Amino acid sequence: MKQRKLGYFIGKKILKLLCLLIVVCIASFWIVEQSPIDPVRAYIGEMSIQPEQKAKLEEYWGVNTPSHEKFMNWAGNILKGDFGISLIYRMPVTDVMKERFTASIILMASSWLMSGILGFILGIIAGMKNGTLVDKVIKTYCYILIAAPTFWLALIMLLVFSVYLGWFPIGLGIPIGTVADDVTFLDRIHHLILPTITLSLLGVASIAMFTREKLIEVMSSDYILFAKARGERGLGLIMRHGIRNVALPAITLQFLGFSELFGGAVLVEQVFSYPGIGQAAVAAGLRSDVPLLLGIVIVSTIFVFFGNLVADIIYEFIDPRIKQQEMTT
Amino acid sequence: MSTAVLTINKGLSGGLNLRQKTILLISFMSLLLLTIVICSLFINERSLSTDFDSKNLAPSLKHPFGTDWMGRDMFIRTIEGLGLSIMIGAFASLISTLISVILGLFSSVGKIADSFVSWLVDLFLSIPHLLLIILISIGFGGGATGVIIGVALTHWPSLTRVVRAEIKQLKTQEYVHISRNFGKSRWWIATKHILPHLIPKFILGTILMFPHAILHEASITFLGFGLSPHEPAIGIILSESMKYLSAGYWWLAFFPGLSLLIVILAFDMIGENLGKLMNPKKAHD
C-alpha cells in the first residue's frame, strides 16, 4: 500500500520534472536567442579573422539557420547527453559541468549542513529564552545577516582571515603553481574552509528565525502545558516535546533553500575565486558562452527541483502527523 | 555608552505610545533614505574629480570613508552609488508589483487562469534567482538595461503568491457570498470587497521587495554584468575594491558595503513597522 503510494508519487514527480525541463529548455533557449550577442564574436574574442573563416564559423555555429531548427538540433543533442562545446573552456560542456559541479557540491553540501545545524541550535536557544537578552542578540544577528550583501560578507571574511591574520589563502581552489596531481587533500580542505564558513553564516539566519518562531508556537501549545503540569521542565521538556515537533519543518525548509544556496555559492565562489559551477556560470554569462550557460541553467533547475522533491517527500511520507491524518480519513 | 543611548531614547520617546514610536521610526528611516537619494542627485562631477595627491588615504575627518586609487572621495562615491541602487530598486519593485497585481487579479478569473498563474510562479522559482537574472539580462543584450529589466522581471513570484492566496481566501468570505446573492456584479464585488483588502498588501509587498531588488542589483553588478565600470554603483565599487584587498586598503570594501547593509536594514524596518501599523492584529507584538 505504502510502496504503491510512494511509487505513484515518484512517478508523478518525474513527469513533472520532465515537463519543467522541457519548458525551461524552450524558455531559456528563446531568451538567449533574442539576445543581440553574436556567438561568432564570442568564440573568436578580439582576434581579427578573414571573412571566409568567419563564414565557416557562422555555418558551424548555425548563425543563419532558423531558430526552431537550431533548437531542435540542440534539444536533440541534449537528449543524447551532448550539451555542445563550451566556447570559453574549449571542451565539452558536460565535462566542464562535471568538474565544476563536484567542486561546488562539496562547498554547498558542507555549508548547507553547517548552516542547518548552527541555525537550528541558535533558533532553539532563542526560542527557549524568548524575550531575554540572548534571544534579542540572536534575533539582531539574524536580521543583520539577512540584510548583509553576500559578496560583502565574503570580502570582509577575506580581509580579516586571509589578509590580516593570514590563516587562509586569498583564493583559488588549489595553491598557485602546483600541478593538479600534486594537490593534497589537506590543501583542498584549507582552501575550502573560508568559503564554506561564509556561505553557512548566510544560511543560518532564515533557519534560525524559522526554528525560533516554530518553537515559540509549540511551547504555547496545550501539550506543553500538560507536560509542564506533570513536572517536566528545562532542557528535558524542550528535547522531548519541543525539538521533535520543530525538527521536521526546519529540515524541510532547509531543503527548500537550494535555490538561495546556489545563488550564494555563485557570489562566494566569485569572491574567493573558487573554481565551482557558480564561477563558471558568471564567466559563461559575461563572455556569452551560450552552450555552457544553458547547460548550467538546466543542471541548476534539476538541483533546485531535487531539493523541493526531498522536502515534499519529508512532508508526505515521513511526518507522522500527516500519516496519522491519512489513517483517520 | 549604551546606557546613555538608552536614556536618550527614553527621554525622546518616553511620552509616546507604541504607535507613535513606530511612526517616528518609519519617518526617520524614510528621511534617511530620501536624504541619500536627494544627495546623490545633487552631487556634481567636480567633487568626484580625480586627485592623485590624495590617493589611497585611510579614513580621516576630511574623507570619512577614505579615498580610492584615483583620489576620489569614497564617501561621495558611496552616496552616489546608493542613490543609483535605490532608484533601480524602486523601478524594479514597481514593475514587479505591477506584474503581481495583474497576475493576481488574472488568477481570480477562473480555474484555468489560476493554474496558469501558479504554474508560472513555480516556473520562475525553479531556476536559481541570480542565474535567472543573468539569463534575462543577456537576453536583453546585457548592459544597464539588461540588468534593470532582469531585476524587474524576477521579483514578482512571491508577492503574486500572497495576492493569489489572499483573493482565494476573500472569495470564500460570507460577506462576499451575501453580496453575490444580493445580485451585485463581479466588478462591484472586486472593487468594493476585494481591492480594499489588497491595497495594503501591495504597498507592503512593494516596500519589502525593495531590499531584495537592491541586493540583487548590487550582486549582479558586483559580478560584472550591466553598469559600466565608470558608474559609481555599489556593486562596482566593491568589485573594484577586491583588487586592493591584499594591499590592505580595507576601507574601500568595508564602508560602502556597510552603508548598503544599513540601507537594506532601513527598508526592512520600514516595511516591518508599516506592516504592524496596517495590521491591527499584530499591533501589540
Each domain of chain A, given as residue ranges in start order, spans: 2-79, 93-328
Q: Is B250 on the interface with A (CB under 8 A)?
A: yes
Contacts of A312 (CB under 8 A, 6+ apart): A13
Least confident of A43-47, A64-68, B255-259: A43-47
Average pLDDT over residues B184-190: 82
| pLDDT at residue number B54 | 64
Is CATH 1.10.3720.10 the right assignment for the domain spanning A93-328?
A: yes
pLDDT band at B233 (very low <50, low <70, confident <90, very high): confident
The identity of residue A61, as a single letter, is W
* Contact of A71 with A81, CB cutoff 8 Å: no
Q: What pLDDT, in 10s, does the model give residues A173-218? A: 444 545 555 556 666 777 788 888 888 888 888 899 889 888 888 8
Q: What pLDDT, in 10s, does the model give residues B3-53? A: 444 444 555 555 677 778 888 888 888 888 888 888 877 776 655 666 666
Q: Is B70 on the interface with A (CB under 8 A)?
A: no
The residue among A203, A200, A173 whose CA lies nearest residue A269 is: A173
CB–CB contact A285 B264 (8 Å): no
Q: Which residues in chain B have Cβ-Cβ distances shorter than 8 Å to A166?
A: none
**All structural domains of chain B:** 92-285 (1.10.3720.10)
Least confident of A3-7, A57-61, A143-147, A295-299: A57-61
Residue identified by cell 525553479 is B126
Nearest to B218 among A24, A149, A263 (CB): A149
* Contact of A116 with A254, CB cutoff 8 Å: yes
Contacts of A69 (CB under 8 A, 6+ apart): A62
Q: Is the pLDDT of residue A138 over 60?
A: yes
d(CA A53, CA A140): 61
Nearest CA in chain B to A17: B126
User: Which one-letter DSSP state was computed for residue A273?
Assistant: T
**Cβ atoms within 10 Å, residue B187:** 8
Q: Is the ipTM of this complex over 0.90?
A: no
| pLDDT at residue number A118 | 92
* CA-to-CA separations, B29 to A10, A290, B280, in angstroms, rounded: 49, 43, 22
Average pLDDT over residues A36-53: 64
Contacts of A302 (CB under 8 A, 6+ apart): A17, A21
Average pLDDT over residues B207-231: 83
* Contact of A148 with B246, CB cutoff 8 Å: no
Q: Is the pLDDT of residue A17 over 50?
A: yes
Helix ranges (DSSP H) in B43-110:
74-107
pTM for this model (two decimals): 0.82
* Contact of B206 with B94, CB cutoff 8 Å: yes
Contacts of A114 (CB under 8 A, 6+ apart): A196, A197, A200
CB–CB contact B223 A288 (8 Å): no
The alpha carbon of A87 is separated from its chain's Cα centroid by a whole number of angstroms, namely: 25
* Contact of A14 with B121, CB cutoff 8 Å: no
Full DSSP string of A145-165 = HHHS-HHHHHHHHIIIIIIIS
Q: Is the pLDDT of residue B75 over 70?
A: yes
Residue identified by cell 588549489 is A174
Q: What percentage of chain A has pLDDT greater than the value 90?
A: 3
| pLDDT at residue number A117 | 92
